[in-house]
Amino acid sequence: MANLAQTMVGLQNTTLKDLKGTEKRDSLIALEKKYQQQWEQQGLFDANAPSTTDIPLHSIPAAELREKFPKFFGTIAFPYTNGRLHVGHAFSFSKVEFHVGYLRMKGINVLWPQGYHCTGLPIKACADKLCKEVGLFGQEFENYKEDEEPVADAAAKPAQREREDVTKFTAKKGKAAAKSVKMKYQFQIMQAMGIPLQQIHLFADPAYWLEYFPPLCKLDLSNFGSRIDWRRQFVTTDANPYFDAFVRWQMIRLRELNKIKYGKRHTIYSIKDGQPCMDHDRSEGEGVNPQLYVAIKMQVLEFASKAQETLRGKLPDNANVFLVPATLRAETMYGQVACFVSPRVTYGIYEAAPNEYYVMTERAAKNMAHQEIFAEEGVIKKTADIQGSDLIGTLVNAPLSFHKGGVRVLPMESILETKGTGVVTCVPSDSPDDYATISDLAKKAEYYKISKEWAELEIIPIIRTPTSDLLALELVKKLKIASPKDTKQLKEAKELAYKEGFYQGHMLVGDFKGEKVADAKPKVRAQLIEAGLAFEYAEPENKVVSRSGDECTVALMEQYYIDYGEESWRAIATEYVENKDGNGLNTYSSDARNAFLGVLDWLKQWACARTYGLGSRLPWAPEFLVESLSDSTIYMSYYTIAHYLHSDIFGREKGLGDIAPDQMIDEVWDYIFCRTELTDDILTRSKISKETLEAMRREFEYFYPLDLRVSGKDLINNHLTFALYNHIALFPREYWPKSFRVNGHLQLNGEKMSKSTGNFMTLDDVVKKFGADASRIALADAGDTISDSNFVEDVADSTILRLHSLREWCEEVSKSQDLRTEKNDFEDALFDNEMNTLIQEAKRHYEDTNYKMALKSCFYDFINAKDVYRATCVAAGIPMNKDLAFKYIRLQALSLTPIAPHWAEYIWLEILGESRTVQLAQWPEVPEANASLTAARAYVLATQSNITSAESAQVKKMAKGKQVSFDPKKPKRLTIYVIREFPRWQNECIELVKETWDMTTMTQKCTDKELSGRVAKIGKVKEAMPFVQRLKKRLRDGEPISEVTERKLAFDECKTVVAMVPSLKRVAGLSAVNVLLVTEGSKTGSDLIHGGVVDVKAPFAEQAVPGQPSFLFENIET
């Protein structure tokens, strides 16, 4: 049998970067392993609350305790343990990891735990598949025929259905959407994951997955250098009896609060599995919900002749037959003028009730079969098939339509079998698609083989909007839509029509005339259903496939559900997310906040129970399991006390509290989580000591609330919003989450991660290939926004060289005997100030959780500052200053500790000779940046660059024959012209802006024409007018007028230029340098180096302005 693991590795190797040499990487990794072992042995990352022995419980309020001993509690969404962590997991993980590293340096008591999610269908489904495959092919799959082996290839991208309800927020993609490897058998997938063929049969037992993957998760994160308190790790499901008791308590309390209810609701359903199919149970369609329509009963009044012929003898003589288009816009049914079917689709006629038949697609019938629409639940009775083309011309009744004599069935080419019922009602007054189609039919009646008058029924205005009473017609005209083939414009028109009609429309007709469409919509819907003219119909918003391979439908089921969206509950959640007073949920960006508010707006009831998979039993109905997105909403609170309950992930060994699982009664959880106070009854029934209970409550009271939760943005739709709802229901407000930070998906080398293309890396792959620190730096460099980020292998690879070279430089400098001891006020002062500036910048970026910018400040720019300093010292012919060199080494190690702790540890211990780990070091305190020195340094760098450019410009002139007096190969002199005063015309422009600008209204007091006239009087109009416009723009942008009009440099330009002379002579190969101070209009200047006054003849002098000197190169005789 061909080895699929080798095949996949080969595919990966053709896609990912191939490293040429590994000696430098290997030396870095060796140090990483050394320090990781030391950190673990020292228990550096074990976090504890202040003990109740030192500070008795309730001796001070919990909030005051947290203020006295600052703490931080951060988590990521715990990974599902059916495989190794990939680099996308590491990306989310790094956001907390880097923040934790920084906060530890600020003296914060940090709790950073990690658990493993095992609940749900995936593991069980995979294990069951392996059971069958072992039976088919043998324990080691030795009976599998090699020629049957499928090729690992990219899955075909599913067709994206157009979003029906444009007012509803949806995520672009979820986790399941990114899992694209398609192989026929589960054992092949396991083999491609690198699991030896001889071990795969063990995974036929679901429990083995829980034994196998969590330790690998811990290993991968430990090799990554994570600062996790591993005492608090656990697995979910009833495999851990303590966590099982926790989940049962949660469900019981939610039910008592009337948050969990029982009733009929539409849910995504797998007929094959015989149960609801929730997000984590899906191989395709994560985040897809039921879409609820109203199906209009358009009774057949007279079949077309072809239909009569096709159906002869297949239906009872008195049969009531209905075409049943599904619509979201019941309020528009007054405007129906036709009914559309696809000529190419084969429709079925299904018996819904005795003597009542519906015309629709087979897919729609499958959905209806489990929604109490058919007489027999789950039974589909097809009476006949009929081609759509045979139905053309059939006369049907259109409920509520003004065309009481009926409307005709007409062809519509764009109808899909995968959407709705395959039948569409036509309302051209408000649907651009319908208007474009009906107009095309009328124009080409002969081509479509229909009577023209069928497509020419009067279009009656039914909704008034700000744009028009016939909105669809207006939009088709405005967007220049010529036919139904203009799909792009029609899509835009549909969205515009729906939004304007819903939000700004008023009814012109019907029982609810004059009402807003938003108010009338549900009333018309209810009226149609009550009159028997329509019924509710639901289907998945998009394709959903269960992990058992079944394409799912929607069923109306009696089930337990959490009543998300309940009005009062949602109002509290919305207010907390809006965070108007600054005491609510921090989402770090307006995009994320709006996404949460959008989900809160549409999220409704969520099924919380299933019958298949892994999990905890529903306490009052043990035949059901708690589904995977319902047992993972408040488990963050479990972290706070996990180490008191058990010392292993399964709860097989007791923890610090010496507590058995059955002692964790519901009332104990209530007490620990601050819902009740301790009573003698709790002590008696639980048999847990008061001291232990108080210690556990202290852990919760101190570390809660959760300070930071990091997850992918796709989890806004479910997990994160669920977590918020559940915290609001179960905990006092003091303990609600403080912040949710969502990141985009992670690309790899600029492309979507995909196993099928080989563009995929596990965390283990990345760390083995580049080492932990280089991988961490590449993750920090990948990005921080809600948009997708990019892990670039070239960044990780180049970082290996950069870290290795920087380490060698630090070693060499620390041993050097050639460093200066005295400090100067130029090279040394500029470098010292730049280090202070960058450390302050890095601090701000770390605090704002902008790690890409923090990395730029404390790594890339910091190294560059060192290199510039070293170069300027060489150019000046002086060694580096010893104190500054060691300050650089120290600050480099400390500032990089949050992101690259292993490299920092080596520098800290081995080069700087510190006695304690850098993990216990404090963030460096440096003086505030000196603005004068910062400006001077920027001036020096710009001037050096400008001098090079000026020489190049003179050389080019010489090459073109425009100048023959300068030869760069001969001895040369540079004259630098500096000036203290700005040109007179600029000063006059500034005074003009001051006079004509109103700082209260941020507007110009005079007209543009008047302003232009006054500028013309100043002179130099070509330069002056753009100068004035730039000043005005700065003022409009909010820059203070004092800064805009300030004309003084922050540093002494003359002194700075003179200090640059020695290094300029060396770097540029100059025989001499003169610095002349000139004034506007003067023919002489002051020689700042040799003293005296000299004549100024060169026109270059006139180009100088403060902060921007001009230059002249000349040849001289030596």
Give the tens place of pLDDT for each residue, 566-581.
999 999 999 999 999 9
Buried b / exposed e over 635-655, threshold 16 CB at 10 Å, is: bbbbbbbbbbbbeebbbeebb
With a pLDDT cut of 70, the percent of the chain lying above it is 94
- Considering only 478-482, 730-734, 808-812, which range has the smallest mean pLDDT? 478-482
With beta carbons less than 8 A apart as the criterion, state whether 800 and 774 touch. Answer: yes
In the predicted model, is pLDDT for residue 149 greater than 60? no
- The Cα–Cα gap between 239 and 616 comes to 9
As a whole number of angstroms, the longest Cα–Cα distance in the chain is: 120
- The Cα–Cα gap between 295 and 849 comes to 50
- Average pLDDT, integer, range 292-310: 96
Which has more confidence, 634 or 1111? 634
- For strands 609-610 and 621-626, give the pairing: antiparallel
In this prediction, residue 961 has a pLDDT band, given cuts at 50, 70 and 90, of: low
In the predicted model, is pLDDT for residue 1049 greater than 70? yes
**H helical segments located in 224-312:** 241-256, 305-311
- The Cα–Cα gap between 65 and 67 comes to 5
DSSP code at position 178: G
In the predicted model, is pLDDT for residue 945 greater than 90? no
Buried b / exposed e over 593-624, threshold 16 CB at 10 Å, is: bebbebbbeebbbbbbbbebbbbbbbbeeeeb
Instruction: Give 348-383 pLDDT, tens digit per residue.
Output: 999 999 999 999 999 999 999 999 999 998 999 999
With beta carbons less than 8 A apart as the criterion, state whether 214 and 123 touch. Answer: no
- Average pLDDT, integer, range 888-896: 98
Q: Tell me, what's the pLDDT at 1022?
A: 82
- The Cα–Cα gap between 926 and 933 comes to 15
Instruction: Give 534-565 pLDDT, tens digit per residue.
Output: 999 999 999 999 888 899 999 998 889 999 99
Q: Tell me, what's the pLDDT at 962?
A: 64
Task: Classify 575 as helix, strand or coil.
Answer: helix
- The Cα–Cα gap between 161 and 543 comes to 9
Token pair, residue 582, equals 């600054």
Q: Tell me, what's the pLDDT at 288?
A: 81
Contacts of 340 (CB under 8 A, 6+ apart): 325, 409, 410, 411, 412, 415, 423, 424, 425, 426, 434, 437
Q: Tell me, what's the pLDDT at 963?
A: 59
Instruction: Give 710-755 pLDDT, tens digit per residue.
Output: 998 889 989 999 999 999 999 999 999 999 999 888 988 888 888 7
In this prediction, residue 1067 has a pLDDT band, given cuts at 50, 70 and 90, of: confident
Output the CA angle 642-647-652, nearest 5 degrees: 105
Q: List Cβ<8 Å contacts ≥24 apart for 485-488.
A: 486/436, 487/414
- The Cα–Cα gap between 1019 and 1025 comes to 10
Which helix (H) or strand (E) segment holds residue 302: the answer is strand 298-302
Token pair, residue 1047, equals 């004309």
In the predicted model, is pLDDT for residue 12 greater than 80? no
Q: Tell me, what's the pLDDT at 282?
A: 81
Q: What is the DSSP string of 783-807?
A: --SSS-EEE-HHHHHHHHHHHHHHH
Contacts of 533 (CB under 8 A, 6+ apart): 296, 297, 399, 400
With beta carbons less than 8 A apart as the criterion, state whether 743 and 97 touch. Answer: no
In the predicted model, is pLDDT for residue 708 greater than 80? yes
Q: Tell me, what's the pLDDT at 15?
A: 61
In the predicted model, is pLDDT for residue 179 greater than 50? no
Q: Tell me, what's the pLDDT at 526?
A: 93
In the predicted model, is pLDDT for residue 1009 greater than 70? yes
User: Nearest 5°: phi and psi at 11?
Assistant: -65, -40
With beta carbons less than 8 A apart as the criterion, state whether 201 and 139 touch. Answer: yes
- The Cα–Cα gap between 179 and 175 comes to 7
Beta bridge pairs of residue 382: 350
Instruction: Give 50-80 pLDDT, tens digit per residue.
Output: 999 999 999 999 999 999 999 999 999 899 9
Q: Tell me, what's the pLDDT at 433?
A: 94
Q: Tell me, what's the pLDDT at 6?
A: 52
The model's pTM is 0.78
Averaged confidence pLDDT in the chain: 90
DSSP code at position 291: E
In the predicted model, is pLDDT for residue 161 greater than 60? no
With a pLDDT cut of 90, the percent of the chain lying above it is 69
In the predicted model, is pLDDT for residue 953 greater than 50? yes
- The Cα–Cα gap between 225 and 97 comes to 9
Q: Tell me, what's the pLDDT at 984?
A: 84
With beta carbons less than 8 A apart as the criterion, state whether 125 and 803 touch. Answer: no
Contacts of 429 (CB under 8 A, 6+ apart): 332, 335, 435, 459, 460, 461, 462, 463, 470, 471, 472, 473
In this prediction, residue 182 has a pLDDT band, given cuts at 50, 70 and 90, of: low
Token pair, residue 229, equals 């308190």
Q: Tell me, what's the pLDDT at 970?
A: 86
Task: Classify 994 as helix, strand or coil.
Answer: helix
In the predicted model, is pLDDT for residue 1072 greater than 80? yes
CA dihedral 252→257→259→265, nearest 10 degrees, is 90
Q: Tell me, what's the pLDDT at 9?
A: 46
In the predicted model, is pLDDT for residue 661 greater than 80? yes
- Average pLDDT, integer, range 237-265: 96
Q: Tell me, what's the pLDDT at 942?
A: 85
Contacts of 452 (CB under 8 A, 6+ apart): 442, 445
